[in-house]
């Protein structure tokens, strides 16, 4: 680990420990300011003067949010993501490139600003059509509505919780955290320890891999000139495991920051969803909040900030299943801010994948990794429908294992692009591997289509 990674890790650990103090602050305004000041301090430590980028985005969005609340989402989206492009190309304007961890802060800040604009636009439009809604819809509108001030924008976007690597949470979640007493009645320590139970193993694997098999080695001449094809194949799995363990460590720790502070605690009966918050029984939220006897009896969970489940990601069978447990708060943001808002339904998936890749970065590797999923999923779906759909196929265990291997091998192959990033490094690695997995998937797809056609013919003969 380099110096920046050490500072980053220590910052996350400090934020987790500080959560116990922060959630027990009773004065709401004081609590907001403490969270904001600590957030600013962390940003200066990790990003130095590059923190000024956040203020530019924040002030620009404040102008947009209060200029036209009914059309602020699109304007905020265009402004924030355009500025993200500038942020990543500052060297062309004579401004030094920001530190790596500052890039992640800017990424999360962009999501918060655009998400806030969507929430503000939605609640403004919903109030205008309030009389035509059902009782349950009215309860949700009342719960979701908020009055926004300039100070609120700063407090939400700059609070230390979620500022570094997420998870993404809505402004409504932040308001509930400040205004409602759920964090004082939820067993935050228990939920934090539950989330951390697998962390030591993941951290050890990450440190072990980074020390003995660093990513930088696969860009050296020795790697390509003196290592065999099988070694490079094996090293692809090393890259994959390194990447996963690194992401797992970061997401688990940042999720624990939220949990230890009590942000995202909601009654289980409200059926919270990752990134979104409560989805049911909205009228009971304030009833519980006002009654201490109900508060002491209520079961709370932190599903709102549940962002990663490493065990499910690794051991579920398909990519589609894995994505339901991988960075789920960000996926929620993409679903509601891009997929559902894009005007042309036919191109929604493409638009979502493009925004996801653009948000991750400007390198070719980001686009190769994320866009390639659109080509892999039809292959996976084909084999799932052929062999897993009704769980009655012979050799079912074999086919489950086979499709799981397809998932992991695809992740590993594409992870090379995500880690090596540049065109030269990515293509040199893939060329040295003869693009074997692309070839293999193409052959598997053609075989699957042949089996599907054969079954259709057999079914037609039987029906006759």
Active site amino acids: 327, 360
Tell me the C-alpha distance between 417 and 338, whole Å: 24
Furthest C-alpha separation in the chain: 77
Name 253's Cβ contacts closer than 8 Å, sequence gap at least 6: 9, 12, 13, 16, 199
For the chain, the three-class secondary structure string (H helix, E strand, C coil) is CCHHHHHHHHHHHHHHHHHHHHHCCCCHHHHHHHHHHHHHHHHHHHHHHHHHHHHHHHHHHHHHHHHCCCCHHHHHHHHHHHHHHHHCCHHHHCCCCCCHHHHHHHHHHHHHHHHHHHHHHHHHHHHHCHHHCCHHHHHHHHHHCCCCCHHHHHHHHHCCCCCCCCCCCCHHHHHHHHHCCHHHHCCHHHHHHHHHCCHHHHHHHHHHHHHHCCHHHHHCHHHHHCCCHHHHHHHHHHHHHHHHHHHHHHHHHHHHHHHHHCCCCEEHHHCCECCCECCCCHHHHHHHHHCHHHHHHCCEECHHHCCECHHHHHHCCCHHHHHCCECHHHHHHHHHHHHCCCCCHHHHHHHHHHHHHHHHCCCHHHHHHHHHHHHHHHHHHHHHHHHCCCCCCCCHHHHHHHHHHHHHHHHHHHHHHHHHCCHHHHHHHHHHCCCHHHHHHHHHHHHHHHHHHHHHHHHHHHHC
């Amino acid at each position: 680990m380099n110096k920046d990674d050490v500072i980053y890790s220590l910052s996350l650990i400090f934020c987790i420990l500080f959560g116990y103090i922060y959630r027990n602050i009773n004065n709401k305004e004081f609590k907001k300011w403490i969270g904001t000041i600590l957030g600013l301090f962390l940003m200066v430590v990790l990003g130095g003067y590059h923190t000024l980028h956040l203020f530019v985005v924040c002030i620009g969005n404040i102008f947009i949010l209060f200029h036209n609340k009914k059309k602020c989402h699109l304007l905020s989206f265009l402004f924030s993501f355009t500025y993200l492009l500038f942020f990543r190309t500052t060297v062309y304007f004579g401004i030094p490139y920001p530190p790596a961890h500052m890039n992640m802060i800017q990424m999360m800040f962009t999501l918060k600003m655009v998400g806030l604009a969507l929430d503000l636009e939605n609640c403004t439009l919903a109030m205008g059509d309030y009389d035509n809604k059902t009782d349950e819809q009215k309860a949700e509108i009342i719960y979701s509505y908020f009055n926004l001030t300039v100070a609120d924008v700063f407090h939400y976007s700059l609070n230390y919780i979620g500022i570094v690597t997420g998870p993404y949470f809505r402004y409504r979640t932040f308001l509930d955290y400040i205004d409602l007493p759920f964090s004082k009645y939820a067993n935050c320590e228990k939920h934090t320890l539950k989330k951390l139970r697998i962390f030591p193993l993941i951290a050890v694997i990450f440190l072990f891999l980074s020390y003995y098999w660093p990513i930088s080695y696969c860009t050296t001449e020795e790697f390509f000139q003196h290592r065999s094809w099988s070694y490079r194949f094996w090293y692809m799995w090393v890259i994959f495991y390194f990447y996963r363990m690194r992401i797992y460590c970061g997401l688990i720790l940042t999720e624990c920051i939220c949990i230890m502070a009590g942000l995202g605690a909601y009654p289980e009966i409200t059926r919270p969803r990752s990134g979104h918050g409560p989805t049911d029984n909205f009228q009971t939220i304030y009833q519980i909040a006002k009654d201490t006897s109900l508060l002491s009896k209520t079961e709370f969970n932190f599903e709102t900030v549940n962002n990663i489940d490493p065990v499910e990601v690794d051991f579920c069978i398909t990519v589609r299943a894995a994505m339901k447990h991988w960075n789920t708060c960000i996926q929620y943001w993409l679903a509601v801010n891009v997929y559902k808002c894009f005007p042309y339904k036919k191109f929604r998936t493409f638009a979502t994948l493009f925004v996801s890749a653009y948000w991750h970065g400007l390198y070719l590797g980001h686009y190769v990794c994320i866009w390639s999923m659109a080509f892999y999923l039809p292959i996976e779906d084909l084999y799932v429908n052929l062999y897993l759909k009704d769980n009655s196929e012979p050799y079912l265990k074999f086919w489950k294992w086979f499709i799981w291997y397809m998932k992991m091998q695809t992740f590993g192959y594409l992870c090379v692009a995500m880690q090596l990033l540049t065109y030269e490094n990515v293509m040199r690695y893939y060329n040295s591997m003869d693009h074997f997995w692309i070839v293999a998937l193409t052959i598997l797809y053609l075989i699957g289509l042949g089996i599907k056609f054969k079954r259709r013919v057999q079914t037609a003969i039987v029906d006759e």
